[in-house]
Amino acid sequence: MAAATHKLIAHAGLDAATMAAVAREAGFSVGTVQHYFASKDELLLFAYKRMTDHQLARVARMVAEGESEQLPIRAILMRCMPELWPLDEIRRGEYRVAKAFHARALDVPTVAEVARETAAVVRGQIARAVENGKECGEVQPETDAERAALELSALIAGLSDELYREPADGRSGRALVKATNAILEERLGSYFPGDCRHHER
């Protein structure tokens, strides 16, 4: 049911995710959906939280992969951060769902809490990466990790909007992807100017 809800919102917006539509999409009756979710709010919140959990899990998996490959932290971040960008149809769908709920979060505190926490996790992970970078010499010791994380997470979110407007399969879309990658590379370079001590030879 949560998957059906996600699909409907991604395809036609929050208003399209009526109880009847969700039931039909999931192959159940309206009554059955009601059996599992006491209210529509509950259903929507569950579907939203499910999506953010999936996203964070994907990022965590990519971090783990990068660590097992002994990549420098900067390279790991360079891989992970575009994971939240709307570069293919799946992630464009997630972008649409996320934006729909961000609007809903303005009026529904429970949704705002999920959005707030998701953002906090992302920012926290970046901040931790910067701190780790100090220990291994990639980051200068006087860098403010919280501030760096704030700028980097804001940058990702802001660039997402631009990327969504210009689908990545067009000519100008590909140029935009190159530009956003270059920006991210440059900014990571300014926060991670050094080489990892553990990779020295």
Residues in touch with a copy of itself (CB under 8 A): 12-15, 96, 99-100, 102-104, 106-107, 112, 116, 119, 146-147, 150-151, 153-159, 161-162, 165, 179-180, 182-183, 187, 190
Nearest partner of 132 among 198, 189, 42, judged by Cα: 198
Number of H helices, E strands in the chain: 9, 0
Distances (CA, A) of 163 to 24, 75, 97, 159, 175: 32, 21, 16, 6, 10
Extract the tokens encoding 43: 């259903």
The one of DNA, a copy of itself, none whose footprint includes residue 155, by CB under 5 to 8 A per kind, is a copy of itself
Among 12, 20, 57, 182, binds DNA (CB under 7 A): 20
20/179 with CB nearer DNA: 20
Among 40, 50, 123, 187, binds DNA (CB under 7 A): 40
Nearest distance in Å: CB 84, a copy of itself: 12
By CB under 7 A, the residues from 41 to 80 that bind DNA are 41
The 3-state secondary structure of 94-117, one letter per residue: HHHHHHHHHHHHCCCHHHHHHHHH
Residue 12 binds DNA (CB under 7 A): no
Nearest distance in Å: CB 46, DNA: 13
The one of a copy of itself, DNA, none whose footprint includes residue 106, by CB under 5 to 8 A per kind, is a copy of itself
Distances (CA, A) of 192 to 29, 179, 186: 54, 19, 10
